[in-house]
Amino acid sequence: MNSIRKCVMVVCSLALGACATSPIPSSAMKDVDPSVGFGVLKAQPDVYKGRAVELAGRVVDIQLVQNGTLIVAQSLPMKNNRPVETLGEIKREMIDESVEPNATFAVLYPTTIAKSEFEFGDKVLVVGKVEEAKKGRPYLVAGCVHVWKTGAYPISEYEDWADLGLSQKTYCAQ
């Protein structure tokens, strides 16, 4: 009986671990400081300059710039390595297109990604190095960006990604 319990515990722990697997490659995650969240970074970006962090957000703007792709995202909390949106905030309705500017961060991905790969509201998970604050928001240079093509819908609408065919893609700079 004791060996059956152990076997069940091992299987359960493996299943739970699989749910928390990051879409970002582990090689890009090795230097990430998990203690640095958006709020801390927003308050003191210069303290964390040069450190690798992981942020989640909702895409509010994409610009192709001379040295890559600039992504502006509204910060979202993370759970199990994906962005989450509280039902109280969105009530399973499409998101409001007005975004509070002080809750955003900017990410420079050092290669061009076609603007068609993003749309307003898509959810992103970014791993990058903190550069500084620009226009009052934290600014990162991304090593990797993972995009969930949710558009304006909350990611919670796609609980079973395989069945609903949620398109997602990871971009990692060389």
Q: Does residue 6 belong to any structural domain of this protein?
A: no
pTM reported for the whole predicted model: 0.76
From the list 65, 72, 76, 51, the residue with the least C-alpha distance to 127 is 51
Range of the domain at 137: 23-172
Is residue 162 pLDDT above 80, yes or no?
Answer: no
- If one counts the domains in the chain, the total is 1
User: Within 10 Å of residue 59's Cβ, how many Cβ atoms?
Assistant: 21
> Is pLDDT of 102 > 70?
no
Amino acid occupying residue 120 = F
Q: Which residues pair with 1 in a beta bridge?
A: none
Grade residue 101 by pLDDT with cuts at 50, 70 and 90.
Answer: low
pLDDT tens, position by position, 43-88: 888 889 999 999 999 999 999 999 999 999 999 888 777 787 654 4
The yes-or-no verdict on residue 33 having pLDDT over 90 is: no
Q: Does residue 36 sit within a domain?
A: yes
Residues, the chain, total?
174
CA–CA dist 129, 32 (Å, integer): 9
Residue 70 · residue 107 · CB < 8 Å? yes
Does residue 8 form part of some domain?
Answer: no
Answer whether residue 9 is part of any domain: no
Residue 15 lies in a domain: no
Answer yes or no: is 91 within a domain: yes
How far, in Å, CA of 37 to CA of 25, rounded? 20
CATH number of the domain enclosing 33: 2.40.50.140
How far lies 34's CA from each of 30, 37, 46, 124, in Å? 10, 7, 17, 17
> Does 97 fall in a domain?
yes
